[in-house]
Amino acid sequence: MRLAASTAEGAAALRAAGARERDRRVRGPDRLAEHLVPGGLRLTALVKVPMLRAAAPRLAERLMPGSYWYEIARVRHMDALLRTELEAGARQLVILGAGLDSRAHRLAHRLTGVRTFEVDHPAAAAVKRERVMRVFGALPRRVRYVEADLNAGKLAAALAAAGHQDHLRSVVLWSGVSPYLGARGVAAVLDWVARHTAPGTALVFDYVFREALDGIWFYGAPQLRRRVAATGEPLVFGIPQGACGALLAAHGLVLLSDYGADELERRHLLRGERQAGRPYGFVSIAHARVPEVAMRL
């Protein structure tokens, strides 16, 4: 029995399990993820079986320590930043490497009047459309599905063809993708954000520490490296600890916050004074902005 057909499916299964947490203080918000996970002979399908779904978090943490709790913290944190940016006036949402992300549906009440673009590799985009059709019966008119290989450096053309408007303030969510791109692909995405979105646009993304890829021990890193390599989707890109701000500045972006395991625990994984779980120790979530005044490069 396979663990998952893809990293996107595995992440969706973790989100589905997190949405079933009994304690509201640490419950994941993605109540739709369960419907986007297919059945079949894969361990991810456990989240669809009432008598077995409670075992999913324990199994995930045994196979990949930190994965379950990181996914809960990541979704809660990125959702909070998205809400803040929408309240501040963002008019477009771009989800890069959308996978089985459900925000366009579960946050539809907050996205009224907001242009939404889901960008993914053509093969992954086809899977997403099929799942959405099966769950909701039709593709939402307000969502543009954009096929683009983020490693190819053609993001600007693909989004422009789909109707993205560079002059509108946007939120760009880039979740669980940068570690699987080459350095040129990451640079191309950062350049697109800096050059093809309006001042004030926010970029929210997570990344792994370069040191973890180089073999330095962090909680959960060895197990994840082995798992994703076995699926043919190895981790290839990381940012050295403490260097995210400098990397973003080199591309004309300003770092606002950069939260690793300790801060994510404090913000999203506490039951009162008690820690609910331990997330990956080698991943951080950055919140950056396109400055109102262009930076000197």
pLDDT for res 261: 97
CATH of the domain at 236: 3.40.50.150
Summarize pLDDT for 130-168 with one digit per residue, the tens.
999 999 999 988 899 999 999 988 899 999 999 999 999
Which run of H or of E encompasses 115?
strand 115-120
268 inside domain? yes
Between CA 285 and CA 297 the distance in angstroms is 24
| Backbone phi and psi for residue 77, each to the nearest 5 degrees, phi listed first | -70, -45
Q: Which string of DSSP letters, residue by residue, matches 235-258?
A: ----B-TT-HHHHHHHTT-EEEEE
What total number of domains does the chain contain?
1
CA dist 189 and 179 (Å) reads 13
**43: in domain:** no
Q: Which residue has the tokens 């045994």?
A: 62
pLDDT tens profile 232-246: 888 999 999 999 999
22 occurs within a structural domain: no
Burial of 1 (0-12, 13-18, 19+ CB in 10 A): exposed
Per-residue pLDDT, 3: 47
* Least confident stretch, 26-40, 61-75, 115-129: 26-40
Q: Has residue 48 been placed in a domain?
A: no
Asked if the model's pLDDT at residue 70 lies above 80, the reply is: yes
Q: Which residues contact 44 (CB under 8 A, 6 or more apart)?
A: 3, 4, 5, 9, 10, 12, 13, 37, 38
The pLDDT value recorded for residue 84 is 97
In this prediction the pTM is 0.93
Q: Which domain holds residue 128?
A: 65-289
DSSP reduced 3-state for 292:
coil
**With pLDDT > 90 as the criterion, what percentage of the chain qualifies?**
76
The reply to whether 19 falls in a domain is: no
Q: Is 44 inside a domain boundary?
A: no
Largest Cα span, the chain: 58
DSSP-assigned states of every residue in 133-199: HHHHSS--TTEEEEE--TTTT-HHHHHHHHT--TTS-EEEEE-S-GGGS-HHHHHHHHHHHHHHS-T
Mean predicted confidence (pLDDT) in 61-73: 95
In a domain, 6, yes or no: no
In a domain, 16, yes or no: no
